[in-house]
Structure 1
Amino acid sequence: METIAQELGKFVSGITVDNLPPDVIAKAKSCLLYGLSIAMAAHESRQGQIAETAMIESETLPQGGSTTILNGKRTTPGAAAFANGVLFQSRGQSDAYGTMAHFGPAVIPAVLAMAEENDFSGLKILPALVAGYEVAGALAKDHIRLTVERGWRGSPTYDVMAAAAASAKLLGLDADRTANAIGFAACFSFGNVECNIARTMETQFQLGLSARNGLLCTAIAKQQGRAAPTAIEGKAGFLNLFAGTTEFANNITAGLGKEFEILKVTFKRYPTSMIAQSPTYIAARLARQERIQAETIEEIVVELDPFEAEYPGPGRRQNEELADRGAGTAQGVAAALVYGQASRSLLRKRDDARINRLLERMAIKGNDAVLPQCARLSVRTPQRLYLDEMKDGSRNHVFSFADTVDLVRDLQPEMRIGAATLEKIIEIANGLEQAKSIRPLMMLVTGRDN
């Protein structure tokens, strides 16, 4: 009987563009375009600057290698994967799987770094992207909440395996070596949530390290390194450590190639947590449709799925500020009610008297009747009580390729590249299977074509 790592290895090694459904291919292209656009809009990120500087001090190359997106430096693939992974996450707007995981900041930088160094085509990149998202999603779907409840952070815990699977596919490793890459990644996973409580920088650096570690796992496996076959479901393996159970282990591989997890990946309209997306969206909608005067609001109640309302967990939020309640939900809802929108500047603004007034009048509560990624909102004024609700948040945040294009075009003013360059990037992403090399895309992303 094959172990989970072995079944995943067989699945990954067998993925080709020809056996992927059209909607899966389209979603992989959307994830690539969205992730790169978020990274390009994060050029002012302090964490991104730190990550790139740390890498170029020790791993700069005179030529060849891979490119850092922020300043176009040539480095080793591992260094570029780390620096770019940090940039993907540093804006707080990376793609999401549920509300507890972000696979793109590990998968995409790892794939691009390795593809650029080896001058791979888009035809090789597409199945590698899908492999990363599928392996991480298959593992996370029944386990990530259990992982977070135990005090681990979801993304870096699962993202090392995502990056390992993606890079193993990209390099054409056979099923056995791919299984070993995933097995090593199960052993190299990490990440707690103390940084969320302390409001420090580890959150962004974790996913860059996941991308880098994934490449390392694949490099070890390529050289015939052997990982424990039962690294995932074993008595001392990944599931027992990070989820506390193997009860759902059989579900991990049951849907491979039939139910594609990448199709569940969502994008963010606002540069804040995935938990905050639905309540912020309905607050902005309510403010615009009802033309509520923010200064008349007496009380705001936001109801979320209980698990999401308590993130990062009961008893772990003793230092939380008003704006941070509900993983940033409070600031998003307040800004949206005041201004009808929630831009990055408004979400970071802590001295706005109108926003702060609403924060003091807001309660965020858990409600078992509210599904994950959904929200209920009630806003009371002297004249009336306004109510709004999002019942299917996951579907509301799933974007088609055309929707993704609209979203990234809206982000273009925050990028350093011009609108014409962005259109070239969109064109390459849309026709990725025709791209003979990924290097022209990286030149566009870093602005070196100007």
Structure 2
Amino acid sequence: MTRPAMIAAALADWATGPLDPPAAVRRAALRHLLDGLGTALAGRRGGTVDPALHVARDLGGPPEATLLGGRDTIGAPAAALAAGAMVHALDFDDTHAAGLVHATAVVLPAAFAVGEQVGASGRDVLHAAIAGYETVCRVAAAAPHGFHARGLHATMVAGVFSSALVTARLLRLDTARATDALGIAGSQAGGLLAFLHTGAATKQLHPGFASHAGILAARLAAAGAAGPANVFDGPHGVFDALAAGPVDPASIIAGLGQRWETLRIGIKPYPACQLSHAAIDAARAARRQPGFPADPAAIARIDVDVHPDSAPTVCGPGRDLTRPATPYAAKFSLPWSVAATLLDGDLTTASYRPDAIDRADVTALAARLHWRIVATGGHAADAPGSVVVTLADGTTVRGVVPRSGGGPDTPLTDDELAAKFLGNAGPAGAPVVDLLRRLDDLDDLDPIMAALAAAGD
């Protein structure tokens, strides 16, 4: 059994020590960083994170890091604040099913901002990112849906720790200082899910908050500030204060360097909440059946199976799921997203434009959708999907998938990932694909930052 107050120290020791990740882990991390840069460029171009960019520029600071997709150089914490919001702006970024966290949104900002600040090599940035991926996934998975059950966004709760260790590694802090950084970061863990009921933009900001907080925590530790080493073990640690249900803090450090959670992160094919993806895939499967009607008026009823841990987020009470108030609210409405899929055959960033979410045909079809909770076991983000479409004449068409696409067991191909990246970044982003794939061999991040700026012009 792990001794009290030892988990943070063990995690910090591993994350700041020599790393030799297997080739598959390195490749996975590179894929996720590429995906995150693409979603960041799309988020910046869409304008939804303009307030974060504005504030980051106003915070200013020494010219340590570049705002992703631009040429402004500001302080690394401010650059990471904006980058976290950019990566997560469209909810098109990756997801770790066991922890239900958007890993890259809290790993990439610190890795690139601090990596640029210290002139780190591409290999150093990659190793720091891998340490961050393992941290955010493991901390969140130690309390499966436990933070969400308390009304908190697990990405931000766990993300402060990954950002702190990414920064600690790039600053070359020792184990003691990195442990302090984790302890300090824990006091900044949070992120309310209140946005689900209002359509507010705070969810998009959470990864930026986490990235900013993690960098500050590591800097404070480097300057001599102490943090509680019992931040994971308790008493009064992050799990005691912020998680509900079963918690296994010791799992954070179990098998470090042997079992790689970086390999278990999925890449999204749709810009919607991951918890709706199985139903979206099942809806697409139903459309491919020979009996699916050409006229949506022939659909009398839609029945969808929903995992019990998914229902509060994508089918929650207290809001109109058929008439979402904002594009972000539509991304968190399973009825709306499934209805749009049945009508259009796919979901893209265009599906959630402000001028698209009040479509009368989607609203009418979403009103015919009924969902039921089905306890299939396993993680909600890796659950099977089932959609049954009943026609006016009583016949039924069924679509079933064992799990949603894009996850570690059904990954996007490299070509599909490149196509997603270019769809987000635009054709001018093509050089970034090659540079990211060669990150291990780059002397620094300058070529990538220049290519991102050119893509953002």
TM-score, normalization by structure 1: 0.91
Equivalent of 2:386 in 355, 376, 389: 376
Once the two structures are aligned, what percentage of the paired residues are identical? 21
Encode CA deviations 1:274-330: one digit per residue, 9 max, x unaligned: 11112112212321443532231111111111110122797xx31343255893222
- Pick from 335, 338, 351: which aligns with 1:333? 338
**Amino acid of the structure 2 residue aligned with 1:44:** R
Deviation at 1:411, TM superposition (A): 4.8
Is contact 1:275–1:326 with CA below 8 Å preserved after alignment? no
Partner residue in 1 for 2:401? 390
* Amino acid paired to 2:76: P
Deviation at 1:15, TM superposition (A): 4.1
Shift of 1:377: 0.9
Letter in 1 for 2:101: A
Supply the distance in 1 between the matched residues of 2:285 and 2:93 (Cα, whole angstroms). 23
Q: Deviations over 1:346-372 (max 9, x none)?
A: 234223232122111001221113652
Q: Bigger CA drift: 70-79 or 122-131?
A: 70-79
Counterpart secondary structure, 2:145: helix
- Is the contact made by 1:48 and 1:70 (CA closer than 8 Å) also made in structure 2? no
Distance 1:82 1:441 in 2: 19
Corresponding position of 2:452: 445
Q: Which letter maps to 1:338? A: L
CA distance in 2, matches of 1:247, 1:37: 34
Cα distance change of structure 1 residues 45 and 312 upon mapping to structure 2, 3 Å threshold:
same
User: 2:34·2:421 contact (CA, 8 Å) conserved in 1?
Assistant: no
SS in 1 for 2:110: helix
Question: 1:51, CA displacement in angstroms?
Answer: 0.6
Could you say if the C-alpha distance between residues 411 and 229 of structure 1 is closer, same or farther in structure 2, counting changes exceeding 3 Å?
A: closer
- Whether the 8 Å CA contact 1:45–1:87 is kept in 2: the answer is no
Equivalence for 2:348: 343
Cα RMSD (Å): 2.4
Amino acid at match of 1:275: L
Give the counterpart letter for 1:204 in structure 2: Q
Q: Which residue of 1 aligns with 2:142?
A: 142
Tell me by how many angstroms 1:60 deviates.
5.7
Provide the residue aligned with 1:352 in structure 2.
Answer: 359
**In 2, Cα distance between equivalents of 1:90 and 1:166:** 22
Going from structure 1 to structure 2, the CA distance change for 1:136 and 1:411 (only over 3 Å counts) comes to closer
CA contact 2:147–2:153 (8 Å) conserved in 1: yes
1: CA distance, partners of 2:196 / 2:43: 20
* CA distance in 1: counterparts of 2:371 and 2:91, whole angstroms: 21
Q: Secondary structure at the match of 2:180?
A: helix
Q: How do 1:81-230 and structure 2 match up within 5 A?
A: 81-98=80-97, 100-230=100-230
Q: How does 1:319-330 map to 2 (within 5 A)?
A: 319-322=319-322, 323=324, 327-330=332-335
* SS of residue in 1 equivalent to 2:282: helix
Alpha carbons of 1:326 and 1:341: their partners in 2 closer, same or farther (altered >3 Å)? closer
401 and 111 in structure 1: CA distance in 2 versus 1, 3 angstrom threshold: farther
Indicate the residue corresponding to 2:30 in structure 1. Answer: 29
Residue type at the aligned position of 2:212: R
How far 1:230 moved relative to its partner?
0.7
Distance of 2:44 and 2:136 partners within structure 1: 28
Alignment map for 1:1-20 (pairs within 5 Å): 1=3, 3-16=6-19, 19-20=20-21
Opposite residue 23 of structure 1, the aligned amino acid is A
* 1:397-442 deviation line (CA, Å, top 9, x unaligned): 2389972442342452453x5x3x4332111111211011111101
Query: With structure 2 as the length reference, what TM-score do the two structures score?
Result: 0.90
Q: Is the 8 A contact 2:69 2:449 kept in 1?
A: no
CA distance in 1 between counterparts of 2:321 and 2:333 reads 10
* Structure 2: gaps spanning 5 or more residues: none
Give the C-alpha shift of residue 210 in structure 1. Answer: 0.6
**Relative to structure 1, is the Cα distance of residues 228 and 119 closer, same or farther in structure 2, using a 3 angstrom cutoff?**
same
C-alpha distance in 2 between matches for 1:93 and 1:190:
22
Question: Which piece of structure 1 moves more, 87-96 or 343-352?
Answer: 343-352
Match of 1:412 among 415, 418, 422: 422
2: distance between equivalents of 1:245 and 1:289? 41
Relative to 1, partners in 2 of residues 1:145 and 1:248: Cα closer, same or farther, differing over 3 Å? same
**Residues 1:222 and 1:127: Cα distance change in structure 2 (over 3 Å):** same
Match of 1:47 in 2: 48
Who is 1:298 aligned against?
Answer: 300
Change (3 A) 1:60 1:341: same
Q: 1 CA distance for matches of 2:135 and 2:23?
A: 19
Contact 1:144/1:243, CA 8 A, preserved across alignment: no
Q: Distance in 1 between matches of 2:58 and 2:229?
A: 37
The total of aligned residue pairs comes to 440
- The AA in structure 2 aligned to 1:353 is A
2:81 is equivalent to residue 78 of structure 1: no
Q: Which amino acid aligns with 1:352?
A: R
Query: Would the aligned equivalents of 1:304 and 1:370 in 2 still touch at CA under 8 Å?
Result: no
Structure 1 stretches of 4+ with a deviation exceeding 6 A read: 399-402
SS of the equivalent of 1:43 reads: helix
Structure 2 CA distance for aligned equivalents of residues 404 and 218 of structure 1: 35
Q: 1:351 to 1:249 in 2, by over 3 A?
A: closer
